[in-house]
Structures are given as C-alpha cells and as structure tokens.
Structure 1
C-alpha cells in the first residue's frame, strides 16, 4: 500500500501545525511508503487573498480566507490533477479541508483534524467576527470534507461530537486518535523525576498569553506564595503584558525546539518541573499535554474544547472548570504537592497515559488499522 500525504505545509517542516505534520508523516512511514502532495500558495492566489483580507478590515470583519469556496476549489483541483500523475492507494489529508472538499477522486481519503469549522466560530480569537458569508462558505466546505472522506481521524472526543451533531456524520466514519508529543527526545521511564525538592516548580508553556490563561497562571503563582508554599514559575513562549519582576519568576520569550542547545534547555526545564500550569481559555487538542505527560509532569489545566481527551483527572493531571479561579488552581496544586505519595503516583500515571495513548506510535497504529479496513471493504 502506498499512502499519499496531502497538505498545506511541508511534512518535513517540524514547525508545521505544532509538529503534527512532521510526526504524523513519520508515523505513517513506519507502516507504508509515502508520496507527498504539498501545495504552496502561487503568487496570484496569495495576492488575491491579501486584497481580500484588506477589504475585510475596511468593513471591520475578519476573513478566514482558507475557508472560502474559491480558495478550496482551486486547491482541490490541483490535488485532483496531481493524483492522476502519481498513483497512491490511500490519501491522507491532515487539517487541509480545502484540498478535498471539491476534489473528485475514487481514492479513499483519511481526513485528520482537531476541530470542525463550526466549533471554531467565536471560540478561538482568530475566528471571532468572521464575515457571515465567509462563515457560511467555510461551514459548507468543512461539512463536504467530512462527507467526502472515507474516514476521519479526529484529535478529541469534543471534535467527534461536533462532527456527529453539527455535520450529521456517522459515528462509524469517526475515530478519536489523540496526537503525540512534538519532541525529538523523550526521557526513559527510569529518568522520570517523581521526587521533588522543597520548591514547587510551575511551568507555563504557551505562545498566546491571553488564550492560554496566562493571567490566571500568574495569579495562581501569587496565591501559592501567599499560602506560604515555596514556588517558582517559569514562563516559556511569550512575554507577559504585565509586570513579572518577582525573583521567583523566569520569563523565556522563545525556545527553538529544533536548535540542539535550546532543545536541551527545554528538556531540562520540563524534567525539573512539578506541574504544567496551563489554565487555557480555548484549546482544540494540546500537544503540550502529551509532552508534559511524556516527562511524567502532571498538567493542571481547564476542561475546555478537546482538553479532556488529553488530561484525565487523577491520571495525568486535572482539568478544572472554565470558571475556576486562581485560588482554586492554587488549592489544587498545593494539595497535590504537599502529599508526596499522591504526587509521585500522579507522575507515574502521567507517564503511563503518554505511553498508552498520547504518543505517535499509537496514532500510527490507529492510522494503519483504518487504512487496511478501508482498502479491504
């Protein structure tokens, strides 16, 4: 069996879709030969999209140009032509509904996504105030993609339920397949640090301060200090828009995982962390939870979006209600940290959650089962 990998980005780019393209590509390659179909925007498409976005700004609306019918028809047609030249048995399309919504082919398609377009409306900041006609076109295109696919691998139960309820997709066409960690090096089981020193090490890892709940994380840190718990907070990925001049706060605006020296730095920081603290406001999946679990680091986060597929209460952390306060986050962290046996068991079960579910080998096996079933129908 030969698999076609069709996407909007280069699958060899480790940064594309938070590493998901790179890791899913390599997970498939462990089972089958892979032919890539990778489409950049040609200049005339790029220029027209820029003009469209500028027009939308004039009427004070956002544009999700990749969810416009014209955009989708253009790229669907490009893929349609290309698969006639390079034969594959199964086509895998990750997070690129534009490629298959209007593509006419007899090749079975496995589509992968971490959200439906329906779910994103008003949920992610990027998808707030989209022009109504753009939303209508996007919903139609996204629904067509789910309908045209032979099977859909969705990254969470949250997305599965949206496909069923909002697009009327049969549950038999849907498989929840969690994503894995976007890291080149994972510690061995015997390297997992379940012991803790006297200082509670918190890690906030995220690029978008507001969406990831940065202010709640910061307030949680101060609540823990007020409660008398020795605590330190490391913020990686952004510069907080508020003052963080406490001596126990370290801010690292950016770490390049794909630079060997910086990757080692990140590796050591995660190894020495006691909790990943991410009170996220909106999250489709959360590769960062896979990464924390790989290190045996429990995640303290929010039960929103697809998070519950990645963080299971009492197993690899806790997902608090969306309206939980910093005081509630602080109480949860302190209650776990001061109970050494409970904390140690949580670290070990976090790693087990990674080994059993939150890794790319498990995802690759799920893909293989689906591909074989499709071809044997």
Structure 2
C-alpha cells in the first residue's frame, strides 16, 4: 500500500482548461495508469467560466482600466490578455473552489495558470509549459502583450504557494526560479511525452530524398511560418525542388511548392510525419515544443530556432539544426543541408528517435511527478 492509499482521500482533482493541445488527455490517461485505485475528478474550467464572462463589461472595463495603452493593438493580440485579468482569475478560482468543495482530495493538480485550484488543506501541484515572465527572454518584437501587474501578482503568488511545480522543460523551470523567486526545491522539470502514437512499424527511408518539408502548428506567425515560406522560395530559386506541407493552420499563401492542409483530424497526423523528409517549425517563441518530439518518433530531424525550450528538444547538430529566429537565409541554408543529404537526414532522424524515446514519454513524466507527489502526500498523511 503506497503513501496515498494510507489516506482516507482517494480522489485526485485534475483541473484544466480544454485540451491544452491534447496534453491534458495524455496526462490524465497516464495519471490514471500510475495512480490505480484513485478516482480522477476531471474539472474543465471552460465549463465554469464562459466566453461571456471573459468578454463581459466587468472584465473589459477592468482590461481598459489596467491596460488602456495596449488596447490599440490588433484584436488578435488583445485576445492574448483578455483571459489574463485579475477579475477572470478570481472568478475562475472561486467557481473552482465551489466545484471542489463537496469532497476531500488526496491532492489537486492544475495544468493552466489562469486560476488557482488550491485548497488550504490539500497538497497542490501545477503542471505548466510556460510562465508569463519567460516571454521577456524573447526578442522584443516577438513578445506577446503582457497582462497587468495585478494579474502578474496573482500568478506569482500561485507559483510560490504551490506544493510543487512541474514543468515541461528547463527553460520554464529556470524562469520560475529567476523571474518569480520560487524555491529550486519546489520546481521540477519533468518534460512531456508525445500526443501522437508512435509508428506501428518501420517507415521507408526513401522519404529522406523527397525534399518534403513538414510544418505542424496552429499559430502560423508565432511558429515562424512566414520565414519558412520565404526560405522555401529561396531554396527553389537556387534549384532545390523543395516542397512544403502546412498542417494545423490555414495561412493565405500561394507560393510554388507550398500546400496548405489546415486543421486535420489528429488520427491523420501520423501519415504526414511518415511521408516527410524533415520537420521545420522555426518558432519565434516556444516554451517546449511537443511537435519536435512527435516528429522524432517518426525518425524526422527538425530544423528550428534557438529560442525558449527548443534546444532541449532539438539537439543542434545531433537531432536537427537550429538557427536564429526570424532569419530566412539561415533557415534556407539549414534546410538545404538536410534536403541535399538524405543520409544525414536519416542519421539525425534516428538519433532524434532515440532521444525522444529515452527522455520524452508520458510514462517518464508522470513517474517523476508521482515520486514527488507521493513523497509530499506521505509527509502530510
């Protein structure tokens, strides 16, 4: 009988917002496997706080008061901060408290930092891929709008009062320590796994000579899509018959050699990984980058940028090639290096697969979390 089973509380509160790019489903499934006998109370905050709450006059008036100078930004940028007001944070936290009030829990775990799901009598853990202040480590032109100081204070208090914080990478872990003053012993990098199943069998090596570049991402500009299109144009102008497939978003581009598929069913994504020669997602800012792990499982090397947590997932010169963000020329050179050398692409892809299989699995992630959680819950029992 483990430390948790010795307590009267056998339920785990798993508090989230939506899918989190399918991370929540993967994490919850592995939690259920590694904490057998414990019910998981899955709470989606999206069902507790509506769009009307976020865009209602109470929140917008708060946004105008706190960030009037930023409201001249385009609407898509204002959307970055409309959910990051102290009003929405407190409203969400209060509704979560009511939702969790009916029964005791062994511990609570939240996978978003837009609310506080903690309870005074219960160990509380956070799983996150990023922090707000980590955005200050990107180039000024690539930073999102920052929320008001009142919200940042709530975020900081959330981190500093948590029992422990699990991060998807060392970049975010270091931000918690440096930017928020969290104790190093309260921060644990546990990485993450892939949200795409591994290939069922071997994949033909012929794809490495196809000069087929794959882009996978929802946020076209943040993920460096415009720079990639320019890089492909440079390659084709030099006589390299590169072709690009864009999956996950629908940018308006009509460049030769570029095919835009937009959003596809998750079950169709493995086929595109299996047909590509290389993955290229040259993000301008990126806290972790699960897409690189997914591609690695399919034996793909990645071409990306030296920002955020990407160097942890893509080992420069080993499992892929990294270039400065916003540099189409360097991007084209890196892509050509791999597209013109199928053997190098295959070798880097094999190393990428081994790296991902060793370090980036949900089994390993939750195992690290479980060890830390049981140590804490055992002390509280």
- Cα offset, 1:48, TM superposition: 6.5
Q: After alignment, is 149-158 or 336-345 more displaced?
A: 336-345
CA distance in 2, matches of 1:334, 1:122: 29
Structure 2 residue 282 is the aligned partner of structure 1 residue 279: yes
Mapped partners of 1:45, 1:235: distance in 2: 30
Of 13, 21, 27, which residue of structure 2 is paired with 1:5? 13
Question: Which residue does the alignment assign to 1:203?
Answer: 214
Task: Flag the 1:197–1:67 CA change in 2: closer, same or farther, 3 A.
Answer: closer
The question of 1:73 aligning with 2:106 is answered: no
- 2:358 is aligned, of 348, 356, 359, to 356
Shift of 1:81: 4.2
Q: Which residue number corresponds to residue 112 of structure 2? A: 95
1:223 aligned residue: 234
For the 8 Å contact 1:8–1:96, the answer to whether it is kept is: no
SS at match of 2:250: coil
Q: Give the whole-Å Cα distance in 2 for the aligned partners of 1:126 and 1:221.
A: 22
Contact in 2 for aligned 1:302/1:322 (Cα 8 Å): yes
1:7–1:302 CA distance, 2 compared to 1 (3 A):
same
- Indicate the larger mover: 224-233 or 140-149: 224-233
Q: CA deviation at 1:242?
A: 3.7
Q: 1:138 maps to what in 2?
A: 151
Query: Contact 2:225 / 2:282 at 8 angstroms: preserved in 1?
Result: yes
Summarize the Cα distance change of 1:219–1:38 in structure 2 as closer, same or farther, 3 Å threshold: closer
Residue 166 (1) aligns with residue 175 (2): no
Q: Hey, what does 1:51 align to over in structure 2?
A: 57
Displacement of 1:71:
2.8
RMSD between superposed Cα atoms in Å: 2.8
> For the residues of structure 1 that align with 2:288 and 2:102, how far apart are their CA atoms?
35
Q: CA deviation at 1:26?
A: 0.6
SS at match of 1:241: coil
C-alpha contact (below 8 Å) 1:178/1:310 kept by paired residues: no
* Aligned counterparts of 2:100 and 2:142: Cα–Cα separation in 1: 33
Match of 1:114 in 2: 129
Q: Per-residue deviation at 1:159?
A: 0.9
| Cα shift at 1:285 | 1.7
Matched ranges for 1:320-359 at <5 A:
320-323=323-326, 325-359=327-361
Shift of 1:227: 2.8
Q: Which residue of 2 aligns with 1:318?
A: 321
CA distance in 1, matches of 2:202, 2:132: 41
- TM-score scaled to structure 2, two decimals? 0.84
**Does the 8 Å CA contact 1:279/1:302 hold for their aligned counterparts?**
yes
Q: Secondary structure at the match of 1:250?
A: strand
Query: Does the CA-based 8 Å contact 2:287-2:309 persist in structure 1?
Result: yes
How far did 1:53 drift? 5.6
Partner in structure 1 of residue 161 of structure 2 = 148
Shift of 1:175: 1.1
- Taking the aligned partners of 2:41 and 2:142, their CA distance within structure 1 comes to 32
Cα distance change, pair 65–243 in 1 and its aligned pair in 2 (3 A): closer
Question: Size of the alignment, in residue pairs?
Answer: 356
Query: Which residue in 1 is equivalent to 2:372?
Result: 370
Evaluate the alpha carbon distance shift between residue 48 and residue 361 of structure 1 in structure 2; reply closer, same or farther with a 3 A threshold: closer
Cα deviation, residue 25, structure 1: 0.6
Of the three residues 228, 237, 240, the one matched with 2:251 is: 240
CA contact (8 A) 1:303 1:319 kept: yes
Contact 2:128-2:167 within 8 A present in 1 as well: yes
Distance in 1 (CA, whole Å) between partners of 2:376 and 2:141 is 37
Give the alignment's TM-score, normalised by structure 1. Answer: 0.84
Pair 1:255 & 2:264 matched? yes
For 1:91 and 1:282, locate their aligned partners in 2 and report how far apart those are by CA, in whole Å: 30
1:187 aligns with 2:203: no
- Structure 1, unaligned stretches of length 5 or more? 11-15, 258-262
